């Protein structure tokens, strides 16, 4: 299974897939040299995402998961049309889970600026449930907060409260974490929105989608010792320290990759 992301954040999605489907082999590309995608133009994000998909196509994956919400928002449909294997994104999975959960049909989506501007979550939610209302909120301080490593501090609690301030007068019962990094902040976001609101991670829902797809198509792997491979466009040692800390699988196979990729 190929997994692509703007950097290391998509490891939240990769981890959920590994947990649910431990016999699958993951090939992960993180475009760490050009991360973050959140503030970039649609054109750039689409081009970079295509380069990663083409690299994994040339490596022979059986399906592709776009772990990055920003990349899903702008590149999912074109990749689904042109790649020779199924392509899943993180947005539909999160939207579907929210529809199942909500009672009031008022759903908040927290995401990067790029994802919010694209309107992709509204589109996904409304295509499943026309009676739902989506309240999108860009939280541009959250990715830098996670990447600063200070996400457990009092400062973090305060920054999260400030970021969610625009929701003060809104009514909603469900929140979608529409960005790879936000599951790291899940506990604090839950505390900020209170006990009557369900907070859903697109990362976890995407793993269920992958499972359903492979089960239904009888394409599940049976490999007791899968040899995952990780590729980063930027520094391998930095990628290694974050990935090994996060995945807790011991020493990982990590290579530097150049995009566009030459076989
Ligand atoms: N978390 C993320 N990105 C980082 C980070 C982090 N540094 C500390 N932590 N850095 O994303 C991004 C900077 N780039 C520079 C170029 O090379 C790649 C990295 C979220 C990770 C989600 C799995 C905090 C941190 C960590 C380990 C696990 C989780 C985590 F160090 F939040
Ligand atoms: N991976 C991105 C997302 O899920 C967050 C980091 C970035 O902006 O590149 O939207």
Catalytic residue chosen out of the listed positions 68, 107, 146, 232: 68
How far is residue 118's CA from residue 116's CA, in Å, rounded to a whole number?
5
From the alpha carbon of 114, which atom of ligand 2 is closest? 10
- Whether 263 shows a pLDDT value over 80: the answer reads no
Tens of pLDDT along 149-176?
Answer: 999 999 999 999 999 999 999 999 999 9
Candidates 90, 6, 85; CA nearest to 40 is 6
Give Cα separations from 74 to 40, 43, 48, 118 (angstroms): 11, 8, 11, 7
Residue 139 catalytic?
A: no
Spell out which residues line ligand 2, taking CB within 6 angstroms: 5-7, 9, 35-38, 68-70, 112, 115, 143, 179-181
Under 8 Å between Cβ of 261 and 85: no
β partners of residue 66: 4, 89
pLDDT above 90 (res 249) = yes
Mean pLDDT value across residues 214-229: 96
Q: How far is the CA of 36 from the centre of ligand 1 (A)?
A: 12
- Dmax (CA) for the chain in angstroms is 53
Q: Which of 21, 63, 179, 232 is catalytic?
A: 179
Mean pLDDT score of the chain: 96
In ligand 2, the atom with minimum distance to the C-alpha of 40 is 8
Res 222: pLDDT: 96
Tokens of 132: 């739902």
Residue 102 clears pLDDT 90, i.e. is over it = yes
* pLDDT, tens digit (0-9, with 9 covering 90-100), for 39-96: 999 999 999 999 999 999 999 999 999 999 999 999 999 999 999 999 999 999 999 9
Q: What spacing in Å lies between the alpha carbon of 81 and ligand 1's midpoint?
A: 32
Stretch (H or E) spanning 258: none
d(CA 12, CA 93): 14
Annotation marks residue 35 as catalytic: no
> Which of the four pLDDT bands, split at 50, 70 and 90, describes residue 262?
confident
The answer, as to whether pTM is greater than 0.75, is: yes
């Amino acid at each position: 299974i190929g997994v692509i992301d703007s950097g290391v954040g998509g490891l939240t999605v990769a981890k959920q897939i590994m947990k649910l489907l431990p016999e699958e082999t993951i090939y992960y590309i993180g475009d760490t040299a050009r991360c973050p995608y959140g503030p970039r133009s649609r054109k750039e994000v689409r081009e970079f995402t295509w380069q990663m998909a083409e690299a994994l196509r040339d490596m022979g994956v059986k399906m592709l998961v776009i772990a990055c919400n920003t990349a899903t928002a702008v590149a999912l449909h074109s990749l689904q049309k042109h790649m020779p294997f199924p392509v899943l994104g993180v947005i539909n999975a999160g939207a579907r889970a929210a529809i199942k959960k909500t009672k009031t049909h008022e759903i908040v989506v927290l995401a990067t600026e790029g994802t919010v501007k694209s309107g992709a979550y509204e589109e996904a939610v409304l295509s499943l449930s026309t009676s739902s209302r989506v309240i999108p909120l860009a939280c541009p301080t959250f990715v830098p907060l996670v990447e600063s490593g200070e996400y457990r501090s009092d400062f973090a609690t305060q920054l999260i409260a400030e970021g969610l301030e625009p929701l003060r007068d809104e009514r909603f019962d469900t929140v979608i974490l529409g960005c790879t990094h936000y599951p790291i902040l899940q506990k604090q976001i839950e505390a900020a929105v209170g006990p009557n609101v369900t907070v859903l991670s697109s990362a976890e829902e995407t793993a269920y989608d992958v499972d359903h797809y492979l089960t239904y198509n009888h394409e599940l792997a049976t490999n007791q010792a899968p040899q995952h491979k990780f590729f980063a466009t930027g520094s391998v040692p930095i990628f290694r320290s974050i990935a090994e800390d996060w995945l807790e699988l011991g020493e990982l196979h990590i290579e530097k990759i150049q995009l566009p990729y030459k076989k």
